Amino acid sequence: MSIPSIATHKPVVSCKCSAYLDWLQMLSGACLVLFMWAHLFLVSSVIIGPGVMNAIGHFFESTGMAQVGGPVIFLVFLSHFVLAARKIPFTSKEQGVMLANAKRMRHSDTWLWVVQAVTAMIILIMGAIHMWVVLTDLPITAQKSAARVQNGWWMLFYLLLLPMVELHVGIGFYRIMMKWGVIDSKGRFGFKKKENLLTAVMISIGVITLLRFWFLAIK
């Protein structure tokens, strides 16, 4: 069963080209899903201790993975958004059509697409800010991260960005599994429940990590 799409009067692209672009969007999305989960677990190492996070940060810095991998992830991030933007409604007219179709279809997966579109716009801005701040202040350390979180509005910034990212990633993972045929229409409800639980766990880990940074003593 395919995920329902929402007509928004976007320019028509040849079927063959559109299929290739859809595959690139899906592959870039899959890479970002894996990256975001790995990123969350690596940063949450501060819960064990600042020394653990610093050791991981030093490893990525000394091997050049932070200097090279950061810009690469940023390019994948922008490429994925450009590919997805083909189907995202930007004008008020398109947004009206999207909401009208979602209400008329009364399909839960359609509303998931709406959530993905909304969170994508938020992540584009906030995610770019986060990556710029981090990549222009290498190396990554627990003390630097803690200082940033404890500096006024950054805590609120991450408390908003965290659920947006995890919702977007969770829904994206579910849709990829559907499109690749890993789960069928009969198993999608059970899989969706498990994915919702996974998203809740990820958000919980993220909140605990932010609290650890908030209360971490800065030398």
9 marked among binding-site residues: no
Q: Do residues 12 and 57 make contact, with C-beta atoms less than 8 angstroms apart?
A: no
Structure tokens at 198: 């996974």
Structure tokens at 57: 């940060």
107 marked among binding-site residues: no
Separation CA 109–CA 157 (nearest Å): 28
In sequence order, the 6+-apart residues with CB closer than 8 A to the CB of 123 are 161, 164, 165, 168
Separation CA 124–CA 193 (nearest Å): 27
How many other C-beta atoms lie within 10 A of the C-beta of residue 156?
A: 9
Give the residue ranges of DSSP H helices in 63-187.
Answer: 65-84, 92-105, 108-135, 142-149, 154-179
Q: Where is 194: in which H helix or E strand?
A: helix 188-215
Report CA dihedral (22, 25, 38, 164) to the nearest 10 degrees: -110
Q: Do residues 210 and 162 make contact, with C-beta atoms less than 8 angstroms apart?
A: yes
Numbered residues of the known binding site: 39, 80, 130, 168
Numbered residues of the known binding site for heme b: 39, 80, 130, 168
